[in-house]
Structures are given as C-alpha cells and as structure tokens.
Structure 1
Amino acid sequence: MPDLGETYACVPSTERGRGILISGDPKSDTILYTNGRSVLMLDLNNPLNVSVYGEHAYPATVARYSPNGEWIASADASGTVRIWGARNDHVLKKEFKVLSGRIDDLQWSPDGMRIVASGDGKGKSFVRAFMWDSGTNVGEFDGHSRRVLSCAFKPTRPFRIVTCGEDFLVNFYEGPPFKFKLSHRDHSNFVNCVRFSPDGSKFISVSSDKKGIVYDGKTGEKIGELSSDDGHKGSIYAVSWSPDSKQVLTVSADKSAKVWEIENSNGKLKKTLTCPGSGGLDDMLVGCLWQNDHLVTVSLGGTISIFSASDLDKAPLQLSGHMKNVTSLVVLKSNPRFILSSSYDGLIVKWIQGIGYGGKLQRKENSQIKCLAAVEEEIVTSGFDNKIWRVSLHGDQCGDANSVDVGSQPKDLSLAILSPELALVTTDSGIVMLHGTKVVSTINVGFAVTASAIAPDGSEAIIGGQDGKLHVYSVQGDSLVEELVLEKHQGAISVIRYSPDFSMFATGDVNREAIVWDRVSREVKLKNMLYHTARINCLAWSPSSTMVATGSLDTCVIIYEIDKPASSRITIKGAHLGGVYGLAFTDDSTVVSSGEDACIRVWRLTPQ
C-alpha cells in the first residue's frame, strides 16, 4: 500500500459578506476549518501535517475541539452535529440533528459535557444546547427572530451562554438549564461573532456596523467599546482573545486585522496588521484565531496568514491553495519537485515537494480553466471562454499571454511535447489544430468527440468518441488522415495518454475500464483493468513508461505495472473525497493526485 507522503491542504471555504469561525487546540497547536464536506486539521508548526475528516453528508460549516482535545464536534449545512475522535482514525462517537438549517457556530462547555450550536432554524429554534453524550436539551433559547451567527460558552462557573445574529441582538442566558436573562441592541447591523475571554471576566461582540462592544462576563452588562478613532472601516467579521484575556484580534472587510489592548473595559488599538496581497476583493479578511503565539487570519480568497504575537512587526507566514475542485496537475519536467495545479475557478498554484505552497501564478486573463498543460517555459490553458491561452513562465511569474478563440468550448487539450507549438484541441464539433496561437485547421470528424491526444513528435493523433471507439489518425501537414478504428471500450472515452517513450498509449472510459495499447502493433498490451467502480477521470504514466495510474470518480487511484497482470495492481482507496480528477508521476516511485476535495496528495510507492 502506498504511503501518503504529503498533503497540500485546500483552503477554508468562504462566502462574500459572511465571516467564518475557525478554531483550534492550543495543546497541539492545530487549527480546524472546513471546505466542502471536509473538516481539516492543520498543524500550524508544520503545515504539511494535515488530517482530513470527510464523513459529513452535507457541506461542513464549523468544527471545534473539546476542552481536553480528545474529541471534535463538527456541524454542517443540514443542521447535523457529529462528534468524533481527534486521533485514532476519527471514530464516530455520536451524531445529532440539532437545527433544521445550517449551523454557523458551536461551542463546548468548559467541562466538555455540553455543546451549544446556533445558526439558521428555518423559523423555528435558532440556538440549541444539549448534553454531548445523549443529545438531551439543556435550556430554552428564546429571544432571537433571525439566524444566529455566533454563540459562546462562558469558560468559568457560573456558566453562561451568549448569542448574536442577524436581528442585531446580543442575548445573554443563565443556567444550566439555560434561560433568557437579557438582550442588548447596541449594534445597528448583523452581529457576526461573540467570544468570552479565557478567564470568563468579559465577552465581546463584533458587527457589520464596524463596532466592537465589551460586556461583563458574569452579569452581561455593557462595559466598554473598541475605540472608533482608529477602528475598522468595514464590517468586522470575527474576533479572538489572547490567552491572557488582555487583548483581542479582529478582522474586517477593510482587509486589515487589528490587535487591541482591553484596558478598563475599553479597547485601545495596539497594532494594525496588513496581510500582503494585491488589495483586491479576495484580500478582505473573514476569519481569525489567536492561538498561543500564533495570530491566524483568513482572507476571502482563502489565504491563511500566520503572524507572531510576540513580534507583530515580523512578516506573516502565508499558506494558500485551492478552494474548489482541482481538475488538472502538471509536473515540470525541468524540475519534477515543482507541481502546478489548476482548479476550474481559474486559479493555478505552484507546489514544491517537501515545502508545500509555493505561490499562485497570477494570470492576466483570469478566466476559468478546464484543461492545463505545460512545457518547459510555457503553460497552455483552455477555459470556458472558448479560448486557448499560451502564457510564458518566468520562474514564478506569468509573462506574456496570447490567446486564440477556437469557436466553441474546448473539451480536451493535448500538446506535442517534442514540438509544443503544435496543439490539438477537441470541441463538441470536432478537432482544432493549433500552431502557437494560430488555428491551422478545423476538422469535422463526423462523430461526438470526448477525448484526444497528439503523439509527442506530432506525427499521429488519437481521438476518442462518445461511442467508445478510438480513431487513430496520422498528422499530414495541417490535416488528419484516419488510419484505423480501435473498438474495445464499452463506454465513452474519457482520457487518452501516450507513454513518455512513445511505445504505448493508455485509454480510459466512463464505464470504468482502462486499456494499455502497443503503439506500433495497435494490440492490447494490458487488459482487464476493470477495478474502478465509477468513471475514470484521469490517467498518468510513470517517467520510465513502466507504470500507469488511473483516477476515478470512485475516489480511488489504481497503479498498474505494464509487465504484470492487472490483478497485481496497487490501490489507493479514498484518495480524494468526491473523486480524483488529476494525476501525475514526479518520478517512478511518487504519484501526485488531486480531486474534488480541493486537496493535493503526494503518494510514495513502496516496491512490492
């Protein structure tokens, strides 16, 4: 079984105009955040140390460690809370249906016995507190008329719960069992986050009205505010206290994070932190966490910045990645440690094996991406804008970009590696041959095309159809001449790839079968590759042409050795939640995969 070498984590899912509430475990210095159906546990001291929990049936929204760090409670968009082990295979302890809509925040009581959750109750209840082991209710939470965006448990006795939300209210409850005590309407807009100080003496609420208000933790009375002189210029989305209860960190739509000293109940600005960025919409800050010496902020684009609390002038460590399905992977031949990945939202990220995140490639033409190919100093992309872009690469920077419109949406893109000016693009209506960014011919092949590949030397092309047939053409000048048709597949062809030594090609279909063919004799070289349970999305050859790997919608990667029967395959189960969409070998013992979970994983193959 291959070993998981590294995981390059996806970034937190974000939504414009909403904060996200991240949390962590001070003992292990791990933070928790969600993306799609995944809950991610990321080690702040070693970002390549990532663990992913993918058992929610709906998009996960928030997750928290229990006070002893042994359990995690995570919630989702359906109103369900799952409680599972923080270590040991994440074994499920309990599952409760808590609200009738999305849960936005949840917190454990300091003794780890109760959980409070808040969110969208679809007109019914917006807050519930329950025993963690039985799900029994421990209170009545009246007083809110709209979605409750945040809730907090007082970390010291006597226990209190405070909530806030879209009705501009901050409500205070005494218990257990918890009962409504009082309500504040000091904010004039959505109240996005409320948090108790670790010593329980105060709590603070922050709002889209740009204000932060401080209250007495025991009585719930208002006692102060964050100074407005140097306050935020946009909605404040989240707030987090320092471990000593003397300072708070706030983040805002104004793209800044601020550290405040809470003296005599009022907040005095200590420092404004600016995260490096282009100053665009994606740099708005939507989440934060103060954990030990780490000040963590999250931007709308998903970038995680980690500042040092003891040295606020130090530049932050920045981690980023994909937020959406990673549909293609390319390994740079000149340096196989460098991996480029693209997601359909148009983002191209560079990764360095052993280091992780190596930066985003900023393209001038920010179009969505369907296919990505790369040769030495150039990347070629096709998108939903009917265009093929050729972009020169200078180190980490994208240089000049040229495009050509191929008239309809490109389905597949293949470069002749030895003469990369030559490219083959398949569209619904047929084949487009390109030289650089010039269309040299558009060929209607008379059948529905689903996949294609051009030989490394540009001498032949293989076109796969909806009918499962493989049409082999020789490339003669600017036209294609059909040589023969291969019929072995039972479903539409989904992917075609030549081996690096040009002696073979491999094909995969939507009916879950892969086949390896001899290029000269056109005979089947490896058959019975029928071990996936759903469509094959991608395949890749090892550099030595001795192995081929397939990735499928069934979440698995299967690696076959060409000179062994298909039954001696190596299977990586559950490689990516939601399906595998990108595959590449960096060398003969390392496979890189990407998928719908927006993560990228590096697998080390151990000799059988």
Structure 2
Amino acid sequence: MAQLSETYACSPTTERGRGILISGDPRSNSIAYCNGRSVIIRRLDANLEASVYGEHAYPATVARFSPNGEWVASGDSSGTVRIWGVHGDRALKNEFRVLSGRIDDLQWSPDGLRIVASGDGKGKSLVRAFMWDSGTNVGEFDGHSRRVLSCAFKPTRPFRIVTCGEDFLVNFYEGPPFKFKLSHRDHSNFANCVRFSPDGHKFISVSSDRKGIMYDGKTGEKIGELSSEDGHKGSIYAVSWSADSKQVFTVSADKTAKIWDIMEDGSGNVKKTLVPPGSGGLDDMLVGCLWLNDHLVTVSLGGAFNLFSASDPDKTPVTFSGHMKSISALSCFLQSGQKTILSSSYDGVIIKWIPGLGYAGRMMRKDNTQIKCFAAVEGELVTSGFDNKVWRVPISGDQCGDAASVDVGSQPKDLNLAVQTPELALISTDSGVVMLQGPKVASTIKLAYTVTASAISPDGSEAIIGGQDGKLHIYSINGDTLVEETVLEKHRGAITVICYSPDASLFASADANREAVVWDRVTKEVKLKNMLYHTARINCLAWSPDSRLIATGSLDTCVIVYELDKPASSRITIKGAHLGGVYGLAFVDDNSLVSAGEDACVRVWRLVQ
C-alpha cells in the first residue's frame, strides 16, 4: 500500500491588477485558497500538511470556512457555490448556481445559516444571499452596476451585509431579508475588499485609489479614513482585522504590507510597515493578506507566502511558495550530499524541495523561458523548452549560473543525460535525435520514423528511441553516431516514455495506449508484462534506486507501482494522485516515491510492503 506522507502544495492563482481573498480557520490554524479547479487547505504551523478538494467543474475562485470550522463554501468561475465537509471524505452538503458569472467573494453569516456571494453576472444579479441548506434567497441586492469584488456579513446582530466593486461603490444592506439601505461613492477607483471588524462595530473598504475608509458597522455611515501619511503608494488589494478589532492589516501593489492602529473615531495610523523579502520585481507585488491568530499572512503576485508574527513583526518572516501552473517535469538527485527534488512547471518556474522540509527556494534563472522537459545531476540542470533550444545551467544552492544554450533545429520532444558521463546528452525531436557533448552539438541524426520518446543508458553506450508507430529502436552509440542493433515490437500505441533501471540491467517503456513493459536489456525479453491497469496514456516512469520497483503515472490521475519479482496483478495503485493527470515521477529512496501533476502539487508517498 501507499501512504501520503508529504504534500508540497501549489500557490494560489493570481492575476495582475487583482487582489485575492484568502480565508482562515483560527481553530485549526489553516488557510484556504484556490488554484485551477482545486481548493487547497493548508496548516500554517505544519507546512507539509495540505489537502486538496478538486470537485469543482470550473476554476475555483474563492473558499471560506464556516464559523464552526466544519464546512467550506467554495465558489467558481461559473457562479456555482459548493458546500462541503472539511474532514473525512469531504462530503458534499449542497451545490447551488448562485450567479451567472464568476464568484469573487463569499461570506458566511455568524450563525452559519446564510451565505452571501458576490461577483460578475448579467443585469442586477451581482450579489446574492441564501440559506445554505436550501438555497432560498434572503434578500434583494440592488445598487451595483459592475462586478462586485467583495462582500461581508456583519458578525453580530443586527445583521448587515456590505459590498463593494468595480463601480467604485460601497453599498450597505439591512436585513434579513436584506434590502438596500445606502451607498457610498468615496472611492475614485475599484473598491477591492470590504471587511467587518470581529466585534461588528466598524467595517473598512480598501481601494485601488490607495484609500482605506472606515464606516459604522450598524448604520453604514462613514466615520473616518486611514491616514495618507506613510500610507500605501499603490493599489490596496486586501484588508484583514485583528481579533480584538483594534488593528487592520493591508497589502498593496507597492510591495509592502502595513499594520494600522484603528482609533475610536474611525481614523487609522500606520503602526508598522512590513516589506517581505524578494527580488523587487513585479512578482513581489502583494495581492492578498490574512490576520490569523499570531500569523500575518501575505501573498505575492508570484505566489509566495510570507508569514510574519503579529506579536513580533520585526522577526524574519517564514517564506514558502509553490507552483501556480501544471508541473511538466520532476527530478530527484543529490546536491551537496542531500536528497533534493526539483520540479518545473509549464510557466518555466523551477522549485527546489527537500524531503522532510518542503519548500527550499525557487531556482533563479536568468532565462525564464517556458520549460518542456529537464534533467538534473549534481551541479547542473539541462532544460529544453518551446524555443528549439537546450540550455545547460550550472546550479549552486538556489542560484543558476550563466547558462549555455544550443539550438537543436526543432522543438525537443525528450531530453536524456548519460548519468555516468552527463556531458553526453540525447535530445529527441520529431524527425530524429541530436547528440550533445557539453554545450555543443556532436551530431544531428535524421530518422525515417516520427520520434516520440528516447532514453540513453547510464554509461552512454546505448540509446533507445521510441516512435509514433509503437516500435522501440535500440542503437549502440559509436562516437557521435548511432548504429541500429534491433527493433522491438510489442506496444500498440505511440511510445510516450522510456527509462533505464539504475543498475542498467533493465529498461521500461510505456505508450499512449496505457500499457507499460519491462525488458531485459541483454536478452531483450519481456521481464514484466500485462502492465495494463491504467485507463489512459502513461506520461511518466520511475525506477526505485535498487531497480526492484517501477512506477507509472498516467493521464487518468493514478500512479501504479509494480514489483519486478511479483506479477503485475499484485500492484499498488494510488488513485487520484493528481487532479488532471500525473506528469512527473521520481523515487527519493527505495520506499519513497514523489509525484507531480497538472494540479501544480508535489506529493511524497511512502510505500509499505
């Protein structure tokens, strides 16, 4: 069996010029946010504990814990709200189509009986409040003419709802049933976020006009503003209150976060300005924040979380991040004697992970082009992308040195290093293969079939090239030329991946017709057959260091682990390993497997025999 031991969660989806509204549960010290169709719940005090809810049919946009922490209400881009259990099997309690367009924010009433949601839609249907058990409407929400970016429920009686949006308005509603009471047009740009204080006495709106405006929580009247002295120099995207209702926390496009003391008269003065670590680029703009217990959480445009201490804001923040896009490649190797995992996503981001610790930094490259495939050995990273180039990148710690690139003439399909002599690299393209010796092309070899996958033996003496026709062509490498030795025909679909075992006595191949085969390298006989348990194409293969186990990852979201000495039917199946498909596999040790996929998450599995 396989046990999930660690999850390296993805970062939230962000968009330039837009804030993101994350939520927290003070009981479990957990936050909830969205990436793609997934809702991620992660513990702030246990970074490797994260769970993913992936039942939305459309991209998820916002998620909120219920007041008792037992339920989550999450909205998506289709206007649907799903209400599901935090614990156990994530049972779906209810699902409602609330708006005709994207949901940008939602909030629970303090008694946990009602939900208000706001966002985009047709006509006046930009805000809706409803009973969470029946979906019954509990009010009419007139007054907005454009997308409503944020909404909030007054946490004490008498109940009130406040909304704000792209029409620069802040609207106030009394109820239930809720009815329009009054509107404020004090902002001169998008009103991005509105939040009630925990005691219900006040609420605040923040805007792209750099203002924060305070209102009376019961009457909705304006009572004060955040001071412009030492204020934000860019759009304010999000705001969060302290538990005692005496301070607020804001983040801005100016790459700073600020703690404000709130006076009785509704005015606010900067108490502390926080500057999260970063390179100073666009990715360091702050787009989300949350004050949860002693944690002051900021989220940057690049997806980095910084956790400051509210009781000691001068303390160096804890930083962690993750991928924001589908992971396309994965590698595990030794760096300075330590097991290191590198994962690369579609957008060209490479992240370093340490088993047992998690996030260990982003590999900073001077060339941030997209990456299609890569291979890593100690001290060097070899990447290929969509620009017909292969890059050899020296690595030291989190830094990438000056890279040397070579144009291989067409888009690389696969990339392989001879592990014992990594200067030698084999690059496959549609029409053939290119052999590299260091940063230079040693030879370009045209082949008479369409190439789909390739592998090179650890000692660099042999290459296996797979074709669209399902055949495996085995070549001996003689200098910078290939000499065909034999052709193996067993697959019934295009070859998708080929991989030598670490001891080089075996190799495995897999195809688009969901079958994997293990071969004896010397006799070319099939060592393990009937590996036909996936329901879609196999994307990746990995061998355990002792060459005893082989794992396959598929478009069907599953990982299957086979033991060579046992029939294929005695396999270990990890169902639903990654929403959208598995695209990367590597063994950390003989009993630990790491996987990555379209959900932008990396997971470590402990294999128990």
Same fold (TM over 0.5): yes
Deviations 1:474-502 (A, max 9, x none): 11111111111111111110000001111
- The CA distance in 2 between the partners of 1:166 and 1:76, in whole Å, is 19
Q: Is the 8 A contact 2:124 2:144 kept in 1?
A: no
Q: Is the 8 A contact 2:39 2:54 kept in 1?
A: yes
Q: How does 1:140-289 map to 2 (within 5 A)?
A: 140-263=140-263, 264-289=265-290
Question: Residue type of the partner of 2:363?
Answer: L
Structure 1 position 333, deviation (Å)? 3.5
Q: Is the 8 A contact 1:123 1:146 kept in 2?
A: no
Greater alpha carbon shift after TM alignment, 474-483 vs 133-142: 474-483
Q: How does 1:355-374 map to 2 (within 5 A)?
A: 355-374=357-376
Deviations 1:398-430 (A, max 9, x none): 223111111111110001111111101011221
- The CA distance in 2 between the partners of 1:134 and 1:194, in whole Å, is 27
Q: Normalising to structure 2: TM-score of the pair?
A: 0.99
Question: Residue type of the partner of 1:492?
Answer: A
Match of 2:439 in 1: 437
Q: Is the 8 A contact 1:62 1:104 kept in 2?
A: yes
Match of 2:50 in 1: 50
Greater alpha carbon shift after TM alignment, 334-343 vs 568-577: 334-343
Match of 2:307 in 1: 306
Q: CA RMSD in A?
A: 0.9
Q: Is the 8 A contact 1:507 1:516 kept in 2?
A: yes
Question: Residue type of the partner of 2:267?
Answer: N
Deviations 1:480-533 (A, max 9, x none): 111111111111100000011111110011110000011111111111000000
Is the partner of 1:6 in helix, strand or coil?
strand
Deviations 1:312-367 (A, max 9, x none): 11111001111111111111145463111111211111111111100111011111
Match of 1:393 in 2: 395
Structure 1 position 301, deviation (Å)? 0.4
Match of 2:316 in 1: 315
Q: Is the 8 A contact 1:238 1:252 kept in 2?
A: yes
Question: Residue type of the partner of 1:470?
Answer: L
Match of 1:379 in 2: 381
Q: Is the 8 A contact 1:547 1:559 kept in 2?
A: yes
Is there any run of 5+ residues in structure 2 with no aligned partner, and where?
Answer: none
Q: Is the 8 A contact 2:540 2:585 kept in 1?
A: yes
Deviations 1:541-577 (A, max 9, x none): 0001111000000000000011111111100001011
Pairing 1:19–2:19 present: yes
Pairing 1:533–2:545 present: no
Q: Is the 8 A contact 2:150 2:192 kept in 1?
A: yes
Q: Is the 8 A contact 2:151 2:161 kept in 1?
A: yes
- The CA distance in 1 between the partners of 2:14 and 2:122, in whole Å, is 22
Match of 2:450 in 1: 448
Change (3 A) 1:336 1:496: farther
- The CA distance in 1 between the partners of 2:532 and 2:206, in whole Å, is 56
Pairing 1:8–2:8 present: yes
Question: Residue type of the partner of 1:291?
Answer: L
Pairing 1:423–2:445 present: no
Is there any run of 5+ residues in structure 1 with no aligned partner, and where?
Answer: none
Is the partner of 1:567 in helix, strand or coil?
helix
- The CA distance in 1 between the partners of 2:270 and 2:237, in whole Å, is 17
Out of 456, 463, 466, the position equivalent to 1:464 is 466
Match of 2:108 in 1: 108
- The CA distance in 2 between the partners of 1:321 and 1:67, in whole Å, is 28
Question: Residue type of the partner of 1:345?
Answer: D
- The CA distance in 2 between the partners of 1:588 and 1:21, in whole Å, is 41
Match of 2:332 in 1: 331
Is the partner of 1:282 in helix, strand or coil?
helix
Task: Work out the percentage of aligned pairs sharing the same amino acid.
Answer: 77
- The CA distance in 1 between the partners of 2:220 and 2:255, in whole Å, is 31
Structure 1 position 377, deviation (Å)? 1.2
Structure 1 position 378, deviation (Å)? 0.7
Is the partner of 2:283 in helix, strand or coil?
helix
Pairing 1:411–2:413 present: yes
Question: Residue type of the partner of 2:412?
Answer: P
Question: Residue type of the partner of 1:371?
Answer: C
Greater alpha carbon shift after TM alignment, 190-199 vs 48-57: 48-57
Structure 1 position 397, deviation (Å)? 2.1
Structure 1 position 465, deviation (Å)? 0.7
Q: Is the 8 A contact 1:428 1:449 kept in 2?
A: yes
- The CA distance in 2 between the partners of 1:102 and 1:511, in whole Å, is 37
Structure 1 position 387, deviation (Å)? 1.0
Is the partner of 1:89 in helix, strand or coil?
coil
Which segments of structure 1 move beyond 2 Å, counting only runs of 4 or more?
333-337
Is the partner of 2:403 in helix, strand or coil?
strand
Structure 1 position 440, deviation (Å)? 1.1
Q: Is the 8 A contact 1:326 1:594 kept in 2?
A: yes
- The CA distance in 2 between the partners of 1:238 and 1:481, in whole Å, is 63
Is the partner of 2:402 in helix, strand or coil?
strand
Question: Residue type of the partner of 1:305?
Answer: N
Question: Residue type of the partner of 1:269?
Answer: V
Q: How does 1:517-556 map to 2 (within 5 A)?
A: 517-556=519-558
- The CA distance in 2 between the partners of 1:122 and 1:356, in whole Å, is 44
Change (3 A) 1:220 1:209: same
Pairing 1:129–2:129 present: yes
Q: Is the 8 A contact 1:336 1:586 kept in 2?
A: no
Match of 2:31 in 1: 31
Question: Residue type of the partner of 2:306?
Answer: S
Is the partner of 2:362 in helix, strand or coil?
strand
Pairing 1:88–2:88 present: yes
Is the partner of 1:475 in helix, strand or coil?
strand
Pairing 1:346–2:348 present: yes
Is the partner of 2:502 in helix, strand or coil?
coil
Q: Is the 8 A contact 1:61 1:75 kept in 2?
A: yes
Match of 1:582 in 2: 584
Q: Is the 8 A contact 1:336 1:587 kept in 2?
A: no
Q: How does 1:442-521 map to 2 (within 5 A)?
A: 442-521=444-523
Question: Residue type of the partner of 1:257?
Answer: A
- The CA distance in 2 between the partners of 1:182 and 1:174, in whole Å, is 9
Deviations 1:121-161 (A, max 9, x none): 13340000000100000000001011000000000000000
Q: Is the 8 A contact 1:552 1:580 kept in 2?
A: yes
Deviations 1:350-397 (A, max 9, x none): 111111100111011111111110112111111112111111122332
Q: How does 1:50-69 map to 2 (within 5 A)?
A: 50-69=50-69
Q: Is the 8 A contact 1:416 1:457 kept in 2?
A: yes
- The CA distance in 1 between the partners of 2:331 and 2:51, in whole Å, is 24
- The CA distance in 2 between the partners of 1:329 and 1:124, in whole Å, is 47
Is the partner of 2:27 in helix, strand or coil?
coil
- The CA distance in 1 between the partners of 2:388 and 2:212, in whole Å, is 48
Q: Is the 8 A contact 2:257 2:275 kept in 1?
A: yes
Change (3 A) 1:330 1:447: same
Q: Is the 8 A contact 2:124 2:142 kept in 1?
A: no
Q: Is the 8 A contact 1:287 1:299 kept in 2?
A: yes
- The CA distance in 2 between the partners of 1:337 and 1:181, in whole Å, is 61
| Matched residue count | 607
- The CA distance in 2 between the partners of 1:104 and 1:450, in whole Å, is 42
Q: Is the 8 A contact 2:24 2:32 kept in 1?
A: yes
- The CA distance in 1 between the partners of 2:369 and 2:161, in whole Å, is 46
